[in-house]
Structure 1
Amino acid sequence: MTAYLSRVIDTRLETVILGMVFIASSLILAAILNLPTHVYSATVSATVAQTFLGVGGSGAWWPHDLFSFPESARQNLSELLFSESGLAISSYRYNLGGGGVGVSNPVRAPETPYVSPGVYNFSADPEGVFFLQQASDFDVPGITMFVNSAPAPLTSNGFSCNGQFVNANGPAYATYLVDVAQHWREAGINISFVSAMNEPDNSFGPLPCGQEGMLVEANQRATLITSLWNELESRGLTSEIGILADESSSTSLATSEYSEWLPEVVDMVAHIVHHAYDFPTDAEYEAFINSANAVSGGKTTWMSEICCSLGSPDGSGRGYTEGFDPTINNALMFAGLVFQSFVIGGEGHYDFWTLVSSGLGCEPLTDPTCATTPNSEGWTDGVIYYDPDYATNGNFELYIVKHYYAYKHFTNFVRPGTQRNPVTGSDANEFTLVVSNSTTYSVIAMNPNTTESTISLTFPQDVCASTAFRTSATEDFSTVTPATGSGLTWSLPLSETSLTTYIFKREAC
């Protein structure tokens, strides 16, 4: 028996020694071959930060074209955007048209239901209404009705662009907006927010214009918001429909103008909503948030529009520019903007711009690499693309780019009601987002580098890894091996240039 135990101990000792030799050899080999051995350590806080409200995008202006697609293609698109198997976006921005008077591009000139004060044609804009209805049918929880311009008769110049909001028309404009929102709510479409001035800093002139737009000077915005609030209050709807404002095109411009209008109406505004076409640095983004909080007394901010940038996964080189880049590199650059909003800004809501775009910049029927190869003629403003010549060549194909699969990590796991658990430690960075509900932790982690790395993550309670999904140059939200570990501490491998979501149950294995 003693001899047997001795042999067992010797065998186990030999196994341990061999294992140590293997690890040491592997490290030596990695050093010789210059293979990555990066391990980053971080800790998940037990204290939650913000509560998330929605992740999604806009229904402008692609419904004009996609409504003309065969029914099967339209349903396919709805599945891709709204279903649990697709993006399952939790926020949809319906563009209420101003009639397109003076707009040269019909795609960007949605019809308005406005006929005259109190008289409406709700069969107008069947394209936009179709996808609004689809969002509702798929139970998208957050639907915003946003406006680029008031109906032409209510603007300063009688056009849907190159004009300005008229203070005296504030009550009439507010009545129109609430009438339309209430009509669709009574039809079963739960419009829960109204944005009456999208990018009020730009009228998008001169005539003829490329899109709708209505200038609302900073000193006019309180008047517009007050008119809208009064109309909602008169109908007992202030707790049902929230006002979003002011959707300035950049954080720097918004910061410079908040003091002119926000203090007067801060209690009427549900959320302060902004765009980020200045592509701020992290320091600038944080400064913007601090400024908005100081002026508003801590009112929550939302990021509601961004698109159109080239750049690298680490965020370098980003800025508003023409160019189509459907690759993982650009997809991760845009994912970095979501991390910036959620982690640096502490915001609870994020919307991409058009979601669907025709800006391929190439001809997919004649170039088989069109939808997968960067070019300088297109625009990176969608997660799904279609052929702009569909009407003449009959190409109704939908082209899904890497941005779709990268965005899916956020739309699928950053759900309304979930919360962010900050990640701390000397190795913590903004590219790790931990989202929790009562039963699950979802760890969304990006590796913008061309070498592999690993996060050693410590949780505030025992957890159990369940599954994982990765998007990379060769993977599209693919199921991959779950994290390894036990108890509080787990190892999360991150492939080069990738975005990975690791799912953990909030219980011991």
Structure 2
Amino acid sequence: MSTRRRLSNSCIIASVLSLLIGPTNGATVSSTPAQTFSGVGGSGAWWPMDLFHFPEAARQNLSDLLFSATGLGLSSYRWNIGGGGVNVSNPVRAPETFYVAPGVYDWNKDAQGVYFLNAAAKRGVPSLTAFVNSAPAPMTAGKTSCNSQFVTGSGAAYGTFLADVLSHFRGQGINISYISPMNEPDSSFGPSPCGQEGMQVVPNQRAEVVRELYKALSAKGLQGTVGILADESSSLSNARNEYASWLPQVINQVAALVHHTYDFPSDDSYASYASNVRSLFPGKITWMSEVCCSLGNADGSGRGWSQGYDPTIKNALMFSGMVFQSFLVANEPHYDDGLIYYDSQYAQNGNFQLYLTKHFWTFKHFGNFVKPGSQRHEITGSDANRSTLAVSTSTTYNIIAMNPGNSDTTLTLTFPDATCAGQAFRTSASEDFATVAGAARSGNNWVLSLRAMSLTTFVFNRRSC
């Protein structure tokens, strides 16, 4: 379901007090880490094709908004390796391919995507992933970049192509650490002419793709430094129904099981998927790598695929709920999203403005405070565990708390060790990651004020006041 444009306008971050502002909910932060995070990121499709043509100042501004600490501070970035765009009617979704012939490449292609890949690398984004919607057109069944299928027996050639691309860019100092050879392989994105690139890889072909890619990486000595991600199914239901038929053959060659959530799953459905993966593939992590373009309510009701546009806090909190769902319900350590908009008619009207929605500002809470190596601690008591995230580093606890309701409330929190409240940052209908009053002490507890329809991060230093 990649029929959307990332970063585009069609789809391109005490007791007295509690009596005054509403009910108090008590909760306790566990002393034992429940998981270690690996990244919060965004995807480079399809917006680089347009944004590359913006003035250099705008491109640099965008790169800072995405990758610098003053912006989202993303710790992960997905770069799209193009298939050449053959039979794709929308040029924005038809990235160039480096492939010329077996072993022959034109590294001047895809200047658009490479520009922002470089921008991420230069700003120190620690996790860079290359992902593919379609193999180079000459390798597919229909010799096109969409409405076609992977050819059984071509895995060695395809794997060699991808390994050569990775080797080239790593040699340029761009240390891509993951490769995803299939992106929504459940669809070819036909009929032709297509709206975007896509290559169907049916389940009984997917083991070949992974196995031959692993061999190609091994031939270049990259098998220990570049992990293979699979299979980026468009929905949890597709992933769950298809894993068992092919994944056991190559599970030891897969670094993580990566999926999209265009089925906008319920908590029960997400938990069932995670439980199924743990049962079939113990110790193998999953993460969510792509979703966008949903309308709905702050409490998560009404979610579903659409191409509507809602820049308000309501939509931002709905998507924040999906981040909480991935981290808390499925225990996933990695999440990717997309959330800046621009005018797709820029070439005609000269409008190079970037539009920051409330979704950008709420996602900044996760990008700034959920860093690789930080750890999540369970929160028990009341219902805080589904709307509150406790993230620890060696020196801080960062509490990201959402209130999707229409009334102000408070959360009383107890920590397992000495803490001292620091700053707090809030995004609401009237605030964009604004600095606000930190938590207030109440005996051995801390009281966190949660404004209606808001997301707030409270920083606590791990020391006595």
Same fold (TM over 0.5): yes
Where does residue 429 of structure 1 map in the other structure?
385
Note the 1:153-164 alignment, pairs <5 A: 153-164=138-149
Structure 2 spans left out of the alignment, 5+ residues: 1-13
Report the CA distance between 1:488 and its aligned residue: 4.2
C-alpha distance in 2 between matches for 1:250 and 1:447: 27
Percentage of pairs with the same residue: 60
Post-superposition Cα deviations, 1:72-97, rounded to whole Å, max 9, x if no partner, equal 11111111111110011000000000
Using structure 2 for the length normalisation, give the TM-score.
0.95
RMSD of aligned alpha carbons: 1.4
Match of 1:452 among 404, 408, 416: 408
3-state DSSP class of the match of 1:429? helix
Q: Which moved more, 1:75-84 or 1:484-493?
A: 484-493
C-alpha distance in 2 between matches for 1:139 and 1:288: 33
Where does residue 461 of structure 1 map in the other structure?
417
1:48 is the counterpart of 2:33: yes
Who wins on radius of gyration, i.e. which is larger? Answer: 1
Amino acid at match of 1:305: E
Amino acid at match of 2:252: D
Post-superposition Cα deviations, 1:13-64, rounded to whole Å, max 9, x if no partner, equal xxxxxx99xx59x95xx6xxxxx52100000000101100000110111111
1:168 is the counterpart of 2:147: no
Match of 2:119 among 130, 134, 137: 134
CA contact (8 A) 1:243 1:271 kept: yes
C-alpha distance in 2 between matches for 1:71 and 1:232: 35
1:151 is the counterpart of 2:107: no
Where does residue 281 of structure 2 map in the other structure?
296
Post-superposition Cα deviations, 1:444-465, rounded to whole Å, max 9, x if no partner, equal 0000000000000000011000
C-alpha distance in 2 between matches for 1:260 and 1:214: 19
3-state DSSP class of the match of 1:64? helix
1:493 is the counterpart of 2:449: yes
Aligned length: 452
Where does residue 262 of structure 1 map in the other structure?
247
Where does residue 182 of structure 1 map in the other structure?
167
Where does residue 91 of structure 1 map in the other structure?
76
CA contact (8 A) 1:461 1:488 kept: no
Using structure 1 for the length normalisation, give the TM-score.
0.87
CA contact (8 A) 1:463 1:487 kept: no
1:271 is the counterpart of 2:256: yes
Note the 1:194-209 alignment, pairs <5 A: 194-209=179-194
* Structure having greater relative contact order (Cα 8 Å, sep ≥ 6): 2
Structure 1 spans left out of the alignment, 5+ residues: 1-18, 31-35, 356-382
C-alpha distance in 2 between matches for 1:119 and 1:488: 66
CA contact (8 A) 2:148 2:198 kept: yes
C-alpha distance in 1 between matches for 2:373 and 2:59: 30
C-alpha distance in 2 between matches for 1:315 and 1:434: 21
CA contact (8 A) 2:341 2:356 kept: yes
C-alpha distance in 1 between matches for 2:346 and 2:55: 11
1:392 is the counterpart of 2:348: yes
Q: Which moved more, 1:383-392 or 1:191-200?
A: 383-392
Where does residue 224 of structure 2 map in the other structure?
239
3-state DSSP class of the match of 2:185? coil
3-state DSSP class of the match of 2:384? coil
Report the CA distance between 1:238 and its aligned residue: 1.0
1:504 is the counterpart of 2:455: no
C-alpha distance in 2 between matches for 1:144 and 1:127: 16
Match of 1:348 among 326, 333, 341: 333
Report the CA distance between 1:385 and its aligned residue: 1.1
CA contact (8 A) 1:461 1:487 kept: no
CA contact (8 A) 2:167 2:220 kept: no
Amino acid at match of 1:455: L
Q: Structure 1 or 2: larger strand share?
A: 2
